[in-house]
Chain A
Amino acid sequence: MKSPIKTERDFLAWNRQDRLQWIERWAEYVNTHDDWSQQQKIFIDAQICNARAVSLSREDVDAFKLKAKRPSLL
């Protein structure tokens, strides 16, 4: 089957839908599994651990944020 994604706009629309579907699935997991917060803890703590390992200063963080606000060229 040929992919229906022809343009960047198609891709963005598909990607948005895909993300929303994933959120629905994860929310269903939260509703039906007692270990949701243990799973979430692993995910969040790992991100914080990585950030800590990089050891950024307040100024570094602000500089990254400024860059992140620039519009994407893609």
Chain B
Amino acid sequence: MVFNIIDNKLTLTKSINELDSFVLDIVQVLSKYTDYVIVSGYVAIFFGRSRATEDVDMFIKEISSDSFRLLYDEFVRAGYDFTVSDAVDLYDSYLSDGLAINLWRKDFPLMRMEIKFARKPFQRQILRERIQVTFDGHVLYFSPIEAQVAYKRTILRSDKDIEDALHLERVFHLSVEKIKYYKDLLLFYEKSDQN
């Protein structure tokens, strides 16, 4: 079955692996406080790429310092550790400064969630245009696949990223025009950043 996204939605059947469980546990808490979009390697892995990863990347919609404090406390109560054990420092010195924070289960530091505020125009756009994926009673929100293919082929371009992009191109019905649209957008933003 080739995956086919219709109206930004996709439903599929999937055996849930430990990496999926890790992500599901985190978004169960996180989504009470803000919107998120999953990007990068885990997008390819979720849809079948035959590799593991030690970090899952996501952008979240900006939240207030007070909301973040509540989110932080709930994660700590649930047995997670953060980059720094101080919610104010995490918010002020990391998230507000455009840096990522890491979150992992106390008993398993090898696997972590990397979270950043969606601040750049491209990041905000993929958060707005995220796709809803439903599987076995769970829901996750992913970046538009065409945006990931464009980002991996145009900006990142490592062997691993080219391989991820190829996998996504083969298992999805993708719009060539949409990939080009995101590619042009990325190049435009890249030029704007340089000027």
State in angstroms the CA–CA spacing of A56 and B111 once bound together. Answer: 11
Q: Is the CB of A31 within 8 A of B18?
A: no
Partner of B111, one of A19, A48, A57: A48
State which of B16, B19, B45, B48 has its C-beta within 8 Å of the C-beta of A48: B19
CB of B6 within 8 Å of the partner chain:
no
CA distance A45 to B111 in the complex (A): 12
Contacts of A27 in B (CB 8 A): 48, 166-167, 170-171
Extra inter-chain contacts (15) besides given A48-B18, A57-B109, CB under 8 Å = A26-B50, A27-B166, A27-B171, A30-B48, A31-B2, A31-B170, A34-B13, A37-B15, A41-B15, A41-B16, A41-B17, A44-B18, A56-B109, A58-B109, A61-B110
**What is B's interface to A at a CB cutoff of 8 Å?**
1-2, 13-19, 45, 47-50, 52, 54, 81, 104, 108-111, 159, 162-163, 166-167, 170-171
Q: Assess whether A58 is in contact with B104, with CB atoms less than 8 Å apart.
A: yes
Point out residues on A near B: beta carbons under 8 Å: 16, 19-20, 23-24, 26-28, 30-31, 34, 36-38, 40-41, 43-45, 47-48, 51-52, 56-58, 61
Q: Nearest Cβ in chain A — how far from B2, in angstroms?
A: 5
Q: What are 14 A-B contacts defined by CB distance under 8 Å?
A: A20-B162, A23-B163, A27-B166, A30-B170, A38-B15, A40-B17, A40-B50, A48-B17, A48-B19, A48-B52, A56-B109, A58-B104, A61-B54, A61-B109
Please report whether the interface of chain A is mostly helix, strand, loop or mixed according to DSSP. helix
A-B pair count, CB < 8 Å, reads: 78
**CB <8 Å contact, B166 and A45:** no
Nearest-neighbour CB distance to chain A for B163, whole angstroms, equals 5
Whether B171 lies near A30 (C-beta < 8 A) is yes
A57 → chain B, closest Cβ, in Å?
6
B108 contacts A52, C-beta separation under 8 Å:
yes
* Closest A residue, CB atoms, query B2: A31
